[in-house]
Every structure is written in structure tokens, then in C-alpha cells.
Structure 1
């Protein structure tokens, strides 16, 4: 027997009634009346020539035939609903860009600039992931990422965004009391470090302070926390130029009168080399490149 389209309302009503074992609850779920649900079920029973429910004073219960049909109808309708949700989700995702990046760069550089992107492209939604672990670009994963490094990663296309410099910073109150006049003076103060590949050893070498003995009293996994620690007066942190901007502008941190060091690595926008970016992701990448170029 071929399934005709006019069977679908009756099957939908029956499947809901079978799940609830109650016509009134099924009616509420389907925005129908209980009598309409009952009518659909009786129509289905008439067409099939079997009783699907046993009706009694306390309500209804499925017959053996009803249980068999309920199992099949429930599975089929769930499958259809899953496909519909997937199709709707795929349509909705066309306008969403998934980005993976660093928490510190998101907080200090990306977020202050995102209102300009949203104003220019109000139809594009963004999902930003700032997990510490290096994200893999699997199917269903991020569209693109912002990475800090040498600029080449296996299997990824990389677009240069910006370089940075490293320089010591501390809170204004600490700086006023520290009496620092040169790079060697920093060895007498508690230093704040993060897990970046370049740190205080590199900076002292670049500042020509050789064989320096110093104490990295505080170490943080994220540069944002290192900046906050310095702003709290815990000591002196080695700041990255783009990450330090809001702290310097807000007066939470000040640069010390000592040399700056060019960073060995920069920031890059990356995505899988084998996969063309979706239109919305390409729009975001173009904006990202223009914004980084403007500073």
C-alpha cells in the first residue's frame, strides 16, 4: 500500500497520541482539539481495518497493532524531523562564521573592532572560540583562525595580519616607586611571565643585559592574566604591543623607559588549504585583512 500525502495528518496525530497515551495531551502538542485527534485516529483505523487503541474509562492504550505502527511512525517522523532540522541549520549556518583565536587577542584587539564589522555586515553572525588547545579544522569545525607563529602550518593557507613588539610594562604606582632607569634595573624586581615562546630571557639578551639573574615570580598561561597581574601591582610584565594597547590607553599600565624588542612571530589568519572559504567567511577574512592593514 503506497503512503499518500493525506495519510500524514492522521499518522502525525496517531504518533503523538501513542506517545502520550492521551488524546488531550496530543491535541495540546499539535494545537488541535481532542476531538480532532480522535477523528484522525478513527480515520486511520478505518483505512487500515484494525483497532490501534483500546478505549476505556481511564483513557486509551495501544493494541498490538497500534504498538507496531507507533514504533514505525515514531522512527519515521523523528528521522524526517532530524533532516528538516539539519536543512534549517545548514541554511542558518550560511550566515555564521566560526573563528578560533587567542583569548588575549580577542579581548584586546578583535572585540573593540567587531562593532565596525557588525555595522558593515549585519547579516553575518560570529562564533568565536578561544580555547588554548590548537583547534583542528575538521568538517563542522571553525571556518578560519587567527594564529600566532611563524606563518606556515602544514595543510593551512596563512595570510599575514600584523607583527608585534615586546616591551616591559607595570602599573603606574609601581613604576613611580621602582626607580628604573635602564634594562639591568629590571633584574631587581619581580617579573611576570606567560607561556609564550619568547620571554624574559630573549628580552634581556636583546637589551644587552648578558648573564642576567632574574626572578619570574608569577607565570600565567594567558597573556591577558599577565597584563592584569602587572596592573594589580605584582611586578613587571613583558607586554605584546597589540595586547597592551587597551591597558596603556586606559592608564592601567605604563611602559618602562627601557628598550623594545621586535617579536620573532606575528599574527596570521589561517584556514584549510584544501577548502574554499564560504562566502560569509571570505567576507570576514577580507575585513580582517583590511582592519589589520589599517592598524
Structure 2
């Protein structure tokens, strides 16, 4: 089937509706009414002979056919945006991807993997912002982020990157390490904490230890600082599985007895729902989501 020029407005309306899962929000982006977006979608469905959205009282959801077309339309329009952007701005800016995420994730999980991406995409330049505060994805802001959270943020598209879990770790040089046989022994030692919403009290509850006084002797705002404190013998840290692996691999830390507690939050790749990813950013997102995590 030849793609005629009059398909482009219809495909653009469908692609925006697919990103927002909402005709009204798509209309706001395109400066159209919700009914105009709906008209474009129905016109496209009629031409193709397939249903692209399931309509229900709370909104719309893509069908399997709709998802297939949405992925293709998003990539095609992003390619066009990238070419147009490159014509308007220097090529170096078009190849630059700005990412906001956590310092701990960059330091321990992402950096060891980045040489692979750099080898596959030598023209893409990555810029990381690891401030603790959540960054706004407004014009001029980052292209995408990796967040640790519930997976739902207003105005953002979120893709699950990986889960996480908590367990206690300590330096192999910690005095009387061999005598630690369970949660009660851990509670009697100096504890190191970070600012995560799930912490030692949750872990001890999962271990079945109730009513015991817990003293978090040292606290750090960054998880890697907490792990480094434990590696230097300051106490026992509650480690996140995705962050601690390099410390376990090189022997700076060892896992202690007790439960491995799944976290309530996971890691997600996020980006603005109202803005198509540029080709360089799309390449980085696709690479991230293809990474093995176990």
C-alpha cells in the first residue's frame, strides 16, 4: 500500500493518541479538539480495516494491531524530527542525549555497561545528571530518565527496566563476622542506612524480628556512600541488589544471612509522553531495555 501525503496528518494524530492513551491530551499537543483526533483515528481504522483502540469509559487502550502501528509510527516520526532538528541545529546537538538518573545506578550498574553502547553508537554523546531532586522534563530539559519508583508519573511514559531487592552486607573484615547467623545478630551490630523509603525496619519485619530496638548508627544520602561505609568497616548496610553487585564481585562486601526482600519500587526508563524521542535518544532507550539484568 502506497503511503499518500494525506495519511501524514492522520498518522500524526494516531501516534499522539497512542502515546497519551487519551484523545483530549493528544488534541492539546496537536492544537486539535478531541473529536478531531477521534475522527483521524476512525478514518485510519476504516482505511486499514482494523481496530486500533479499544474504547471504554475511562479512556482508550491500544489493541495489538494498534501497538504495532504505534511503534512504527513513533519511530518514523522520530526519525523525521531528528532529521529536521539536525537541519536546524548543529549535528553535535542532534547526537547528544541528556539523561537524568541516580548517582548510585550510574556508578555501579550503568558505567560498566556503557562501553558496549559507545561501541555500537560511536556518534551518540551522553550527558548524565545525577542530582537527587527529580528533574522536570520541560523544553530544554533532559531527553529521558531512569527512575526508581512505582512506575506511574504524570505526563511520562514509563518502561520497566528491572526489579530490585534488599539484603544485608558487610565487609569480610568485620569483627566476628562468622558469628552472625541471623537477623538478631545483625540488629546487635552498627547499622548503616541510606535515604531509601524501604529500609532496615522493613527488612527486620520480613526477617520476623519484632520489638527489637534498631539503631541506624550512620546514614548517607547516596546508596553508594552507604555501601562504601560498610566496605570500610563502619557497620552493616542494607544493599540493593542492582547496586551492590560490583562490591560482591570484587570481595569488598559479602552477603549476610537473612531474607532477600523484594522492593516495592522498581527501576523504570521514563521520558515525556508529549515529546517524541529523537533518534539518538531512542537508540539509547532501546539499548537500555535490551540489557540483561540477571
Using the size of structure 1 for normalisation, the TM-score is 0.68
Separation of aligned partners in 2, 1:146 and 1:289: 11
2:27 corresponds to: none
1:191, distance to aligned residue in structure 2 (A): 0.3
Larger Rg: 1
Separation of aligned partners in 1, 2:166 and 2:141: 32
1:179, distance to aligned residue in structure 2 (A): 1.2
Query: Secondary structure at the residue paired with 2:242?
Result: helix
Write the mapping of 1:181-220 to structure 2, written as runs, cut at 5 A.
181-220=181-220
Query: Secondary structure at the residue paired with 1:140?
Result: coil
CA RMSD in angstroms, aligned pairs only? 1.6
Separation of aligned partners in 1, 2:166 and 2:89: 43
1:274 corresponds to: 274
How many positions carry a matched residue from both structures? 209
Structure 2: tracts of 5 or more residues without a match: 1-85
Runs of 4+ in 1 over 2 A off after TM superposition: 86-91, 175-178
Residues 145-164 of structure 1: per-residue CA shift (max 9 Å, x gap): 00000000011000000001
Write the mapping of 1:149-188 to structure 2, written as runs, cut at 5 A.
149-174=149-174, 176-177=176-177, 179-188=179-188
Separation of aligned partners in 1, 2:127 and 2:232: 31
Residues 71-108 of structure 1: per-residue CA shift (max 9 Å, x gap): xxxxxxxxxxxxxxx98854321111100000000000
Using the size of structure 2 for normalisation, the TM-score is 0.69
Contact 1:194-1:221 within 8 A present in 2 as well: yes
1:174, distance to aligned residue in structure 2 (A): 0.6
Contact 2:162-2:293 within 8 A present in 1 as well: no
2:229 corresponds to: 229
1:211, distance to aligned residue in structure 2 (A): 1.5
Structure 1: tracts of 5 or more residues without a match: 1-85
Separation of aligned partners in 1, 2:95 and 2:235: 45
Query: Secondary structure at the residue paired with 2:111?
Result: helix
Matched, 1:260 2:228: no
Contact 1:175-1:256 within 8 A present in 2 as well: no
Separation of aligned partners in 2, 1:88 and 1:275: 17
Contact 2:163-2:263 within 8 A present in 1 as well: yes
Query: Secondary structure at the residue paired with 1:210?
Result: coil
Contact 1:204-1:210 within 8 A present in 2 as well: yes
Write the mapping of 1:3-152 to structure 2, written as runs, cut at 5 A.
90-152=90-152
